[in-house]
A and B are shown apart, each in its own frame.
Chain A
């Protein structure tokens, strides 16, 4: 079945540094979603990417969907302590009943 790999598993940065997490699928995806989960909280939807090569921005966050629709990335510019949490990607296969989450990247930010 479809597998979604996410790297790195952990990332510790100094406040103000940039951060990137990568998501790779074993199969071509219909779309990909990104979620953020604060410590002790629940996942919160950030964005959905559908088109090949799509790039979307939300303030300091930039999301990309690869040309082959098998990979995606989330880049945070100039991290802040409020960015702390675990970031998950979730990829939907073309049969529309198999959306798989990556294992997540846990981001910690040192003030």
Chain B
């Protein structure tokens, strides 16, 4: 099993460009999450999907949109990238439909916005 797979691994965007980060899990987990990680700030939740068909805002949702395409896939879209969105983005999944279940993380996407 691959676990949680994220693509791409690296991306450089210019201010104003758009892109979608892809995430898929093969563990049949109900819940999926998108976090960003910045130096000295730990991981901050952008959006999560407790179950297929639902999405909710996390701590830092501004500038992002998400789609829970099916039970396996959860994508994150930046419509108009800004330098403040330079970060490492992690997708995660958990078995139970509540925050507080152990999270399984993907390998991350390192995004630079110039």
Contact surface of B with A, Cβ cutoff 8 Å: 35, 40-45, 56, 59, 90, 98-100, 102-108
**Which of A44, A97, A103 has a CB less than 8 Å from the CB of B99?**
A97
Contact partner of B43 (CB less than 8 A), chosen from A44, A92, A101, is A101
26 CB-based A-B contacts, threshold 8 Å: A4-B42, A30-B100, A33-B100, A33-B103, A41-B107, A42-B106, A42-B107, A43-B90, A43-B103, A44-B105, A45-B102, A45-B103, A88-B42, A88-B43, A90-B43, A92-B99, A96-B99, A97-B56, A98-B59, A98-B99, A99-B45, A99-B100, A100-B59, A101-B42, A103-B41, A104-B42
Known: A6-B42, A43-B103. 20 other contacts (CB 8 A): A30-B100, A33-B103, A35-B103, A42-B90, A42-B105, A43-B43, A43-B90, A43-B105, A45-B103, A48-B100, A88-B43, A90-B43, A92-B99, A96-B100, A97-B56, A97-B99, A98-B59, A99-B45, A99-B99, A100-B59
